[in-house]
Amino acid sequence: MATAATLGTTGAAAASPRSALTSSQPSWAQAKALRGDAADSDVVHARVYLPWRDAAGLAATAKAVSTPGSPSYGKFLSPQQFRAQYAPSQQDVSAVQKWLRDAGFSIAETPDNGHYVSVEGTVAQAEAAFGTQLGLYSAYGRTLRAAESVPSVPSELAGVVSAVVGLDDSADLIVAAARKGDEGAKETSPSQVHGAPGVGFRVGTPCSTYYGQKTVTLGDKRVEPIAPCGYTPAQVRGLYGLDDPALDTGAGQTVAFVGATASPTLVQDVTTYSRLHNLPDPSISQVVAPGVFRHPDTPRQVPGDFYGEETLDAEAIHTTAPAAKLLYVASSNANQDFDASINKIVDKHLAPIISISYGFGGEAVPRGFINSLDGTFQQAVATGIGVFVSSGDDGDDAIDFGKGNESVDFYADSPNVTAVGGTSAAIVKGAGGSVFSSGKTADAPPARSTASNGGLYGIDDPKNEVNQPGWTRQFEVGWQTELAPAKGTLTPDPSTTIDATSYAFDGTIGAGAFQAGGGGGISRVFPQPSYQQGITDKVVQPNTSPIDGTQGRAVPDISAVADPNTGFRVGQTQSFTDGTYYDEYRIGGTSLSAPLMAGMAAVANQRAGKDLGFLNPRIYAAYSTAKPTLYDVDATTVKDAKGETPKVFRVNFVDSESGANGRTYSLRTLESPNQSLRSGPGYDTATGVGTPASDQFLQTLGTVRPAPYTPTGASK
The tens digit of pLDDT for each residue in 335-362 reads 457 888 899 999 999 999 999 998 888 8
Name the burial class of residue 446, with classes exposed (0-12), middle (13-18) and buried (19+) by CB atoms within 10 angstroms of its CB: exposed
Is the per-residue pLDDT at 12 higher than 50?
no
CA distance 52 to 63: 16
Residues forming a β-bridge with 561: 423
Question: How much is the pLDDT for 366?
Answer: 84
Residue 142 has φ and ψ, to the nearest 5°, of: -150, 175
Q: 94 or 498: whose pLDDT is higher? A: 94
Confidence of residue 196 (pLDDT cuts 50, 70, 90): low
Q: What is the DSSP string of 474-542?
A: EEEEE-EEEEEEEEEEEES-TTT----SEEEEEEEE---EEEEE---EE-SSSPPPGGGTTTSTT-EE-
> What percent of the chain is modeled with pLDDT above 70?
85
Confidence of residue 7 (pLDDT cuts 50, 70, 90): very low
Is the per-residue pLDDT at 184 higher than 70?
no
- Domain residue extents for the chain: 15-52+87-168, 176-294+301-701
Whether 688 and 419 have beta carbons less than 8 Å apart is answered as yes
User: What's the distance, Cα to Cα, between the start and end of the chain in Å?
Assistant: 14
Three-class DSSP category at 700: helix
47-97 residue pLDDT tens: 999 999 999 999 999 999 998 888 999 999 999 999 999 999 999 999 999
Is the per-residue pLDDT at 614 higher than 50?
yes
Is the per-residue pLDDT at 21 higher than 60?
yes
CA distance 560 to 556: 11
Confidence of residue 15 (pLDDT cuts 50, 70, 90): very low
CA distance 631 to 637: 12
Question: How much is the pLDDT for 35?
Answer: 92
Question: How much is the pLDDT for 714?
Answer: 33
Kindly give, in sequence order, each residue whose CB lies less than 8 Å from that of residue 594, ignoring residues fewer than 6 positions away: 177, 355, 356, 357, 388, 389, 390, 420, 560
Is the per-residue pLDDT at 695 higher than 90?
yes
Instruction: Compute the average pLDDT of residues 263-292.
Output: 88
CA distance 551 to 7: 32
Is the per-residue pLDDT at 188 higher than 80?
no
Question: How much is the pLDDT for 289?
Answer: 65
Top CATH class of 176-294+301-701 equals alpha beta
**HSE (CB half, 13 Å, CA atoms) of 461?**
8
Whether 347 and 379 have beta carbons less than 8 Å apart is answered as yes
Chain mean pLDDT for the chain: 86
CA distance 22 to 25: 6
Confidence of residue 16 (pLDDT cuts 50, 70, 90): low
CA distance 284 to 273: 14
Confidence of residue 147 (pLDDT cuts 50, 70, 90): very high
Instruction: Compute the average pLDDT of residues 434-459.
Output: 59
CA distances from 457 to 205, 465, 466, 493 (A): 10, 11, 10, 17
Confidence of residue 306 (pLDDT cuts 50, 70, 90): confident
Is the per-residue pLDDT at 640 higher than 80?
no
- What predicted TM-score, i.e. pTM, was given to this entire model? 0.91
Question: How much is the pLDDT for 206?
Answer: 96
Question: How much is the pLDDT for 70?
Answer: 87
Confidence of residue 305 (pLDDT cuts 50, 70, 90): low
Question: How much is the pLDDT for 2?
Answer: 32
Whether 679 and 634 have beta carbons less than 8 Å apart is answered as yes
Is the per-residue pLDDT at 198 higher than 90?
no
Is the per-residue pLDDT at 715 higher than 50?
no
Q: 403 or 325: whose pLDDT is higher? A: 325
> Residue 196 CB: number of other CB atoms within 10 A?
14
Lowest mean pLDDT segment, chosen from 168-177, 224-233, 501-510, 602-611 = 168-177
Confidence of residue 436 (pLDDT cuts 50, 70, 90): low
Is the per-residue pLDDT at 504 higher than 80?
yes
CA distance 549 to 568: 32
Lowest mean pLDDT segment, chosen from 70-74, 260-264, 273-277 = 260-264
Q: 294 or 270: whose pLDDT is higher? A: 270
> What percent of the chain is modeled with pLDDT above 90?
64
Instruction: Compute the average pLDDT of residues 198-212.
Output: 91
Kindly give, in sequence order, each residue whose CB lies less than 8 Å from that of residue 714, ignoring residues fewer than 6 positions away: 59, 60, 62, 63, 529, 530
Question: How much is the pLDDT for 706?
Answer: 61
Question: How much is the pLDDT for 510?
Answer: 94
Is the per-residue pLDDT at 472 higher than 80?
yes
CA distance 89 to 416: 24
